[in-house]
Amino acid sequence: MRALFNAVKTGFTEIWAHKTRSVLSFLAIAAGSVVFIDAFSAIFATYERIEKQKEVSGMARLKISQNYSQTYSSPDDYVPPPVITYEDVLRLREKLPGFYMVSPEGRDWRNVLEYGEHRVTTSVMGVTPEWTKRDFIYKLRGRFLDWHDVENKLRVCVLVKKAAPPPGNSFNKSMMKKYNFTGGFDTLVAHNDLLGKTVSIDGFTFTVIGILEELPYSRRPETMTGYSQEYKVLAPVTTLIHYNFIGSYQTLDVSIDTGSEQNFEESLRKINNFLKIRFGDGDFFIVENQLELIRERIAASMKSALVTISLGMLAFLAGGIGIMNVTLATVFARTREIGVRRAIGASRRDIMLQFIVEAVMLGLIGGVLGSALGYLWGVPVKVMLGMGGSPIKAWMPLVSVLIAAFTAFVFAIYPAWVAAGLKPADALRAE
């Protein structure tokens, strides 16, 4: 313990005596700490985002939609496509009761909504309460559709209030403006409290029972299904069918969450069998395997995170090489000192301990400095630059300092071994 204390004391003296060299060593390892903390926070943010996406979107996802290529494949013979009706969805739910979500969806693309003196273009989507089980990234005012509304075909609706668009370049803004045919509806909902009010949609009166406010983009969890639909008006699917918003020739898309990733393949087989039995030919419909898409997105996110942490480790490696070079230079500059210490009884172990402790102290100081700079970069600087702050946890700087010290220790072993290997007589003769 006394030898360690003396090594620390000597190390401080040596670091203070060669401030410029020491500062350069600090900066080398500090750069590694900054990159490492940023990389670790990126990985942590990726992991949190993936877990949140799993919670919001689920994993065992499927979607049944019409196969248009099968319908229009022949240039001469048009095959009237079969449609999935609401009764088919109820039958599917009855056959497979263990599924977490079976959400029928039918859209009417262009509708006219009237409120007071306002007359705007919108689109209406027919859903059931199942719709809220996945990809629900809204704040609800009022209430959502319930099964009483669906079963009784009530003329009630929920309006979607659009969030402010994220910062974007002028091209994206111009494209959004060019294709946003429901801009009037968005303005109407944003500037009028329509909750509890009566509106007219294509001549039918609907009572607004709820407002879904989109979360700001900074707080919105991403969905993992690859679909980004612009919802405007949600109404009971049975109501839209009854009042011919959704015609008898229109099929319902069905979003499904089987609830179990382990039984996903078996569930997929059962759904295909149901379609074949019900329609005679399952090829009229596409069962989209969204689980594979979700897995691919998770793999891509983790790959990106691993690339980031690899950059952090490379930065530490560069810092370690810098410390090894500095320590080697120190060894050759203090050859006579080493010879004197060996001549008066210092062992090889004492010599190695001295240089290793000095290098570890460089690593510790560089790690602490880098952790402070990493926090400043990850939180206030990134926020000021509009990049979004990094989710830095308390353990990240601690781990960074420990890795910095360990890196310095590993890269100091060879210079310390060289110093300890010098013969006293040869060292004393050195200039």
Least confident of 31-35, 85-89, 108-112, 176-180: 176-180
Cβ count near 159 (within 10 Å): 27
Which residue would you say has higher pLDDT here, 278 or 49? 278
How buried is residue 243: exposed, middle or buried, by Cβ count under 10 Å (0-12/13-18/19+)? middle
* Most confidently predicted of 64-73, 146-155, 240-249, 288-297: 146-155
Q: What integer is the mean pLDDT of 125-154?
A: 95
Provide the residue type at 197 as one letter: K
Q: 276 lies in a domain?
A: no
**pLDDT of res. 54:** 77
153 & 220 share domain: yes
For residues 47 and 84, the model is more confident at 84
- The helix (H) or strand (E) run that includes residue 213 is strand 204-214
Residues 215 and 90 in one domain: yes
Q: With a cut of 80, say whether residue 80 has pLDDT above it.
A: no
Asked whether residue 153 carries a pLDDT value surpassing 90, the answer given is yes
Split at pLDDT 50, 70, 90, the class of 182 is: confident
Q: What is the pLDDT of residue 14?
A: 67
Residues 6+ apart with CB under 8 A from 299: none
Q: What stretch of H or E contains 204? A: strand 204-214
- Verify that 71 and 131 share a domain, yes or no: yes
Residue 292 domain-assigned (yes or no) = no
Highest mean pLDDT among 20-29, 253-262, 420-429: 253-262
Alpha helices (H) along 334-347: 335-343
Contacts for 184 with CB less than 8 Å, ≥ 6 apart: 118, 120, 121
Q: Is the pLDDT of residue 204 over 90?
A: yes
Tokens standing for residue 91: 């039958």
Same domain, 214 and 94: yes
Q: b/e map of 14-40 (b: 16 or more CB within 10 Å)? A: bbeebeebbeebbbbbbbbbbbbbbbb
**Distance (Å, whole) CA 186 – CA 193:** 12
Q: Would the pLDDT of 302 be above 80?
A: no
pLDDT score at 393? 78
- Better-predicted residue by pLDDT, 405 or 333: 405
- The more confident residue out of 192 and 21 is 192
Among 257, 280, 315, which residue terminates a domain?
257
State pLDDT tens for residues 222-257. 665 655 568 999 999 999 999 999 988 889 999 999
Residue 158, helix vs strand vs coil: strand
Q: What pLDDT is recorded for position 334? A: 73
Cα torsion 84, 90, 95, 97: sign? positive
Residue 114 above 90 pLDDT?
Answer: yes
198 and 245 share one domain: yes
pLDDT of residue 79: 66
Q: Give yes or no for residue 174 having a pLDDT over 70.
A: no
In a domain, 407, yes or no: yes
pLDDT at position 226 is: 52
Mean pLDDT of 163-188: 70
**Residue 216 burial by CB count (10 A; 0-12/13-18/19+): exposed, middle or buried?**
exposed
Task: Report the alpha-carbon distance of residue 49 to residue 222 in Å, rounded.
Answer: 8
Which amino acid makes up residue 143? R
Dihedral (CA of 421, 424, 430, 431) sign: positive
Residue 287 lies in a domain: no
User: Does residue 96 sit in the same domain as residue 243?
Assistant: yes
Residue 285 lies in a domain: no
Looking at residue 152, its pLDDT comes to 97
Distance CA 157, CA 234 (A): 5
Owning domain of residue 322: 2-53+297-429
Q: Are residues 139 and 245 in the same domain?
A: yes
pLDDT at 427 over 60: no
Domain boundary among 226, 257, 288: 257
Provide the domain count of the chain: 2
Whether 279 is covered by a domain: the verdict is no
pLDDT at 21 over 80: no
Rounded CA separation 281/82 (Å): 10
Same-domain status, 141 and 163 = yes
Looking at residue 242, its pLDDT comes to 96
Interatomic CA distance for residues 93 and 270, integer angstroms = 12
Q: What DSSP character marks residue 207?
A: E
Residues 6+ apart with CB under 8 A from 8: 357, 361
The answer as to whether 44 is a domain residue is yes
Tell me what pLDDT residue 260 has.
83
Q: What is the pLDDT of residue 263?
A: 85
pLDDT score, position 141: 96
For the chain, the C-alpha Rg in angstroms (whole number) is 33
What does the pLDDT average to over 13-32?
A: 69
Tell me: do 37 and 79 sit in the same domain: no
**Mean pLDDT over residues 73-86, rounded?**
75
Other CB atoms within 10 A of residue 339 CB: 20
Report the mean per-residue pLDDT for the chain: 81
Whether residue 280 is contained in a domain is answered as no
Strand-pairing partners, residue 345, are none
Query: What's the average model confidence in pLDDT over 52-70?
Result: 81
Amino acid at 301: S
Residues 6+ apart with CB under 8 A from 354: 7, 10, 11, 416, 419
Can you tell me whether residue 55 is helix, strand or coil? helix
Copy the structure tokens of residue 27. Answer: 């900066």
pLDDT of residue 222: 66
Ramachandran category for residue 385: left, alpha or beta (phi over 0 → left; psi -120 to 50 → alpha): alpha
Distances (CA, A) of 212 to 133, 177, 185, 257, 354: 14, 22, 14, 22, 67
Together in a domain, 249 and 119: yes
Q: Which of 257, 278, 312 is the C-terminal boundary of a domain?
A: 257
- Give Cβ neighbours of residue 425 (< 8 Å, ≥ 6 apart): 339
Q: Can you give the pLDDT at residue 176?
A: 58
Over range 290-315, report the average pLDDT: 76
Q: Which residue has the tokens 């570890």?
A: 360
**pLDDT above 60: residue 327:** yes
Q: How remote is the C-alpha of 184 from its chain's centroid?
A: 32
Q: Are residues 82 and 33 in the same domain?
A: no
87 with 190, same domain?
yes
Quick one: pLDDT at residue 178? 60
Angle at 96 between CA 91 and CA 98, to 5 degrees: 135
Q: Are 361 and 20 in contact (CB under 8 A)?
A: no
Token reading at 119? 């007359």
> In this predicted model, what pLDDT tens digit does every residue of 271-284 receive, in sequence order?
989 998 888 765 77
Distance separating alpha carbons of residues 378 and 392, to the nearest angstrom: 7
